[in-house]
Amino acid sequence: MKEIQRGVPQGSMLGSILFLIYTMDLPSAITHPCLEYCMYADDLQVYVHAIHGFMINPIKSSAMIISSKHSQVDTSQIDNISINNIRVPWVESVKKLGIILDCKLNFEQHVNSIYKKSYYKLKMLYQHKHELNQDTKLNLAKVLVYPHFGYCNSVY
């Protein structure tokens, strides 16, 4: 067992509670009428409705056009979006709050990501199949694999 010098173990109940206490007053700091925010778990996204002296970081920004599966949008035919003369890149997909959204909203990339994460964790469990009893293996699968399938599954 490793001694912890600071912080709390990742995934612990205490860690979640302390994080909530630490971030609880963060929304009170977002007071400008042009700003809205969305908080979920350890992610904060701030949306700007009008730019009045605020700087949006173009390096961390991206643009995406969401369309149906049957219509193809050619972004080369659309004017570039620039912030402070820095071009904002067009993207096919973006990761927000742990969900990979693509321009067709088919969630193929997101499902593939869940598959890869789950496969990796099951492979790790398989390497220790002779060292663990059945109950421990089942509990580890529930803790390490199931959450990937349950997280925001109503979205896709």
Write the single-letter amino acid at 63. Answer: A
Task: Provide the pLDDT for residue 118.
Answer: 93
Same domain for 137 and 102, yes or no, is yes
Same domain for 6 and 32, yes or no, is yes
Number of compact structural domains in the chain: 3
Task: Provide the pLDDT for residue 51.
Answer: 55
CB 137 within 8 A of CB 129: yes
Task: Provide the pLDDT for residue 81.
Answer: 76
Task: Provide the pLDDT for residue 38.
Answer: 77
Same domain for 126 and 75, yes or no, is no
Same domain for 70 and 87, yes or no, is yes
Angle subtended at Cα 98 by Cα 151 and Cα 7, rounded to the nearest 5 degrees: 95
Domain limits at 38?
A: 1-54
Mean pLDDT in each 10-residue stretch from start to end of the chain (156 residues)? 67 76 78 74 64 70 78 74 82 88 88 93 90 91 88 76
The whole-model pTM stands at 0.55
